[in-house]
Amino acid sequence: MSTLIISPGPLLGHTTVPADKSITHRSLLFGGIALGVSRVRNYLDSGDCRATLAAVRTLGIQVEEPQPGEWLIHGRGLGGLHEPETVIDCVNSGTTARLLTGLLAGQDFHSVLAGSEQLRKRPMGRVVEPLRMMGADIAGRDRGRLLPLSIRGRRLTGIDYQMPVASAQVKSSLLLAGFYSKGLVVVREPGPARDHTERMLLAMGAPITRRGPVITSEPPKQPLHPLDLTIPGDFSSAAFLLAAGVTVPDSAVSISNVGVNPTRRGLLDLLVEMGADISMDNWSESGGEPVGDLHVRHSELRSVTVGGTDIVTLIDELPVFAVIATQARGETVIKDAAELRVKETDRIATTVTELRKLGAQIEETPDGFIVQGPTRLRGARVDSHGDHRLAMALAVAGLLAEGATAIEGAECIPDSFPGFERTLARLGAELE
């Protein structure tokens, strides 16, 4: 187990962040079922994405790397996947497991999905249950609610499904299954979940339509076009630098080429509402995704209440938002975020536990937390609980705290942000 020791101090300068993890996962899976060679540049080389890379190769898809940071994905078409000769190990990646479940449910072969001890605790029922309504033959622990899953592929029927909770992974799984169904798959969202799947598949010519919160998918009559894509920087990674820039005195940070998809930028909009000095420029588009440069300076912040459909647009950023809230004036309330309890860890409990060690005035609630601010944090020894986003949130807190902060279990950080420590150091952070 590695320990990251971080001392207080500002971040100053210009940087980039690693490529978007969600888009990287999808480029591999969707490129694999396109017909032809997809070219993907600036992919994320992280543990989770390597799990998806290994999975598509296990399914018979050839992926080359002609030069660093570039893939050539030799898509075999919608019916070109091969029965895997071994179990597909999703390692620690929930995205890999859930999207593959939908893709594999309609194949004409048998497959088994497994994962790490941590992933085997995460819920799969939210994906398995609607797929079973479509006729999928899926078995697993706890009646298919937990990995490992055994998937005996078969032709599926259509479905009109009202999602109880907004989830990009459930939506994506069902839309992929729709390519192998006898009828329409209609997915009704209760709120705006991430739409990377729809954007990418539409760019590939897939028969997907969207009318407000209703998305439909059906078997394509033509092959999916291969991708030619440069992946933007991951907003969820940029969030940690934005958080440090806005909360640590004397900080000023610029981040280039960040994806600012409207379904992902909830933290950005929230910081503006709280009074943060943030600007955006150099707008462009890549593969249907909006991209821009972000600039942030230390700011005095107001407290807010966050809940309802806004939560889904910043669900991954809530641990670091709790750190931001410790520096906002007044009482900040995060509610309707019970989904945090079934992430890599119970992120409500672990965020509250670890920030309290640093002196934060934070209270756990069933579906979120309440934070009083501003509070002077004190350096302490804290634990990542094996959760990359919590580890990086604690690093931001360490830049704020008086004295050194030691983060145990920092080896999980590259799951989503390879080079995080190098990036902080280049911006002036003092690390050991």
Residue in 50, 26, 54 with CA at minimum distance from that of residue 40? 26
- How many CB atoms neighbour CB 117 within 10 A? 8
Q: Report the distance separating Cα 278 and Cα 268, nearest Å.
A: 8
Burial 119-140 (b: 16+ CB within 10 A, else e): bbebebebbbbbbeebbbebeb
Q: Report the distance separating Cα 156 and Cα 349, nearest Å.
A: 39
Q: Report the distance separating Cα 370 and Cα 325, nearest Å.
A: 9
- Strand segments, DSSP code E, in 35-79 are 35-41, 62-67, 70-76
**H/E segment holding residue 380:** none
Tell me if residue 75 falls in helix, strand or coil: strand
Half-sphere exposure of 187 (CA within 13 A, CB side): 33
Total H helices, total E strands in the chain? 13, 25
Residue 422: which residues within 8 A CB-CB, separation 6 or more? none
Q: Report the distance separating Cα 20 and Cα 255, nearest Å.
A: 14
Whether the CB-CB separation of 148 and 140 falls below 8 Å is answered with yes
Determine if the peptide bond prior to 374 is cis (ω within 30°).
yes
Contacts 24+ apart (CB under 8 A), 269-275: 269/313, 270/304, 270/306, 270/310, 270/314, 270/321, 271/242, 271/246, 271/296, 271/301, 271/324, 273/302, 273/304, 274/301, 274/302, 274/303, 274/304, 274/324, 274/328, 275/299, 275/300, 275/301, 275/302
Polymer length in residues for the chain: 432
Residue 386: which residues within 8 A CB-CB, separation 6 or more? 118, 344, 345, 409, 412
In the residue annotation, 137 being an active-site residue is answered as no
Q: Using DSSP bridges, classify how beta strands 289-297 and 252-259 pair: parallel, antiparallel or unpaired.
A: antiparallel
Active-site pick, 89, 234, 316, 387? 316
Residue 84: which residues within 8 A CB-CB, separation 6 or more? 58, 59, 109, 111, 112
Which sequence positions are flagged as catalytic?
A: 316
